[in-house]
Each structure stands twice: as C-alpha cells, then as structure tokens.
Structure 1
Amino acid sequence: MDLRELDRRAVAATGAIIDGLTDEQLDAETPCTRWAVRDVVQHMVDNHRTALDTFGDGAPEPGADVRTEWRRTAAAVVDLFADDAVLAASYEVVGRSTNGRTALSLHFGDTLVHGWDIGTAVGLHVRIDDDLAEAMLAGIARWPKTAQVWGPDGFFARQLPVAEGATPTERLLAATGRDAAWTPAGRS
C-alpha cells in the first residue's frame, strides 16, 4: 500500500480521537513519560510545523486551541506530501541525508502511535489496524540501533519485550517502548 494512504489513515484515526477530546482530557497523563495529552498533541503539531517549514512554504500562524491546530496542520502535511517532488526532496536527520519519503514515514509512525497514547490516556480502547501496525514495524526496523534513535532522548523509547503470539499492535507498542497494558493511574 502507498505510504501516503497509510499516513492518511493514521491521520484520520488519530484525528477522530483528538476531535473528541474535552478540555479536561487535555490534562490527562499519557504513556509518554512527563507528557499530558496536551503535550503529546502539541508535539505532533510542532512536528507538522517543522515538516511544513522544511518541505513547504512554511507553517501557518499558530492557533489558540491545540486540537484545532492539530487538525489544521495535519491536513496541511497530508496535502504537502501528496506532491511526488516533496517525497524526493533531500534533508538531513540523525546526521544522515535522507528524503521526504522518510519524513512522511516518521509522520505516519508518530501519528499512529501517539493516537494510541492519547486514546489510551482518556480511557478509549484503541486498536491499530494490523496492516498499519505491520507497515510501521517494517519502517522502524530499518532505523539504526543508536542512542540518537532509541532511548530516552531518541525518536523512539527503548524497546520492550513482547510475548510470543503478540498482536501486531502489541508488537508495535513494545517496539516503540510502550506497555500495551498501560492505564492511567487510578484506572484498572
């Protein structure tokens, strides 16, 4: 399947979660250590803005509501990466030259996994479609095993062990340092 279609599906799924957030839920703790829901959404908005500044004509002026800002900048990123020339454009990440396709792959993964983080934080049962989880697993398997990529200051948290027979979602969560059984404090 085309990476752009995978990304659009991740944006739609995560967007549906973000669109349903209440003001109170923005302060909920998440599986992302030290980040509330608002911080995770803002992190994705910041990544959108970086992509728009790097590959496009620049990001729009910031908005006041992080949910609206996420939706607006996510749509702009989807539109941006619809252009084949953007996918071929060069840029540098983790000290190596790469292209817009890699940036789109990172956007896809970030959007997909953080959608789980946000939904789980507010008590939703988030199931990632198997084909999306498998596509992301294949993508992140290509990243070098360095501290710049994996660990507390990397793109991904340290990988967790995963049980044999785990679902694609469980394998993806473990691969990105997330415990599939995580719940907010006080919830069972």
Structure 2
Amino acid sequence: MDLIEAHGRAMTEFDARVRRVRPDQWGLRTPCAEWTVHDLVTHLVQEQLWAPELLAGCTVEQVGDRFDGDLLGDDPVRAWVLAAAAAREAWISPKALIRPVHLSSGRATSEEYGWQMALDLGVHAWDLAQAIGADSRLDPDLARTLLEYAREHHAEFAGSGIFADPVPVPDDASDQDHLLALLGRTP
C-alpha cells in the first residue's frame, strides 16, 4: 500500500470513530496518558490543520501558535471534518510529496511526514475507539502497512516520548496487536 492510500485509510478510520462520539463522551479518558477524548480529537485536528501549511513550505516558526488551544468549539465533529478535508486535499495534491517539510524535529521529506501522519491517525483511531466503546478493529491491510513502517522506524521513536515503551504480545498476535504493542498500547 502506498502512502496516499495508507493516509486515506487511516484518516477514514479516525473519522469513523470521531463521528461516533456522543456528547457525553468528550470528557472520557483515552489510552493516551493524560488525554480525554476532547484532547485526543484536538490533537488530531491540530495536526490536520498543520498539514496544508507544512506541505506548502511554511516553517514551524511561520505557522507559530495559530493552531494552539481549543479548536473544537461547540461542534467538535465539524471541526474535525473541516480540518481533515483540508489536510486530505493538501496530501493528494500533485506536488505534495515533492517538497521537503519543516517539522518541529527538523527538516524531513514530505513522504516521511506523511507516514508519521498516517501512523498517528491509525493508532489514535484505536485509542478513540477504546475510549468510547466503539469497534476498535482497524483495516487489516492498513494495520500491516503501519506495522511495517513502525518496525522500520521504532529506533527513532524509542526514548522520544512520542510513544510509551512496547508491551509484549504473543508471536501469533494480529498485525494490529503487534502495532499497538510496539507503540506502548495493550491490545
């Protein structure tokens, strides 16, 4: 599966869970330490809003604090839908994967940035599903693809504070369970 397809599937997975959040669930805890459902969706909305800016060549300094704070307002689902649509449009533009991007961690290829975004969307779709009691099964092909990416880049994640330490799972666990465990979640 190529990056654009993986990103689209991961975004669809997260979108499906956001649309299932009931009004009384925004304050629920998620598997992400210290984050509520509201915090988790805010994080993903912020990431989606950053994507068009970074893919257009802006630096972190140029974007500044434009996307800080509570971006969900009175209609969190709408905030997500608008941010996701803008991000997806930026990712599928013909020149999206050509330019380097300026991330908080430094300069990177837009392809590397895209894989990071796809991984974050996919894993947080599971986190959100767990928090709200929705179906947490990810598309099996997406889980396999993200697992391959995560295994290749695990050394970069280790010690960065981005993900918790890996947890053990049986060798015969599903690709999804291996992915989640590698990123510090208990499947």
Q: Provide TM-score, normalisation by structure 2.
A: 0.84
Aligned to 2:184: 177
Q: Give the match for residue 175 of structure 2.
A: 168
More divergent stretch after superposition (136-145 vs 71-80):
136-145
* Kept in 2: contact 1:11–1:74 (CA 8 A): yes
Which residue matches 1:49? 49
| Count of residues paired in the alignment | 177
8 Å contact from structure 2 (residues 30, 36) kept in 1: yes
Greater RCO structure (CA 8 Å; 6+ sep): 2
In structure 1, list runs of 5 or more residues that go unmatched.
Answer: 181-188
Please identify runs of 4+ aligned residues in structure 1 that moved more than 3 A.
56-63, 92-97
Contact 1:90-1:99 within 8 A present in 2 as well: yes
Q: Is 1:67 paired with 2:74? A: no
Equivalent residues in 2 for 1:1-188, closer than 5 Å: 1-56=1-56, 62=71, 64=73, 65-93=75-103, 95=105, 97-143=107-153, 145-146=155-156, 149-151=157-159, 154-180=161-187
Identity of aligned residues (%): 28
Equivalent residues of 1:51, 1:103 under 8 A apart: no
Looking at secondary structure, tell me which structure has more helix per residue: 2
Q: Which runs of 5+ in 2 are unaligned?
A: none
From the superposition, tell whether residues 38 and 106 of structure 1 become closer, same or farther in structure 2 (CA, over 3 Å).
same
Alignment RMSD: 2.3
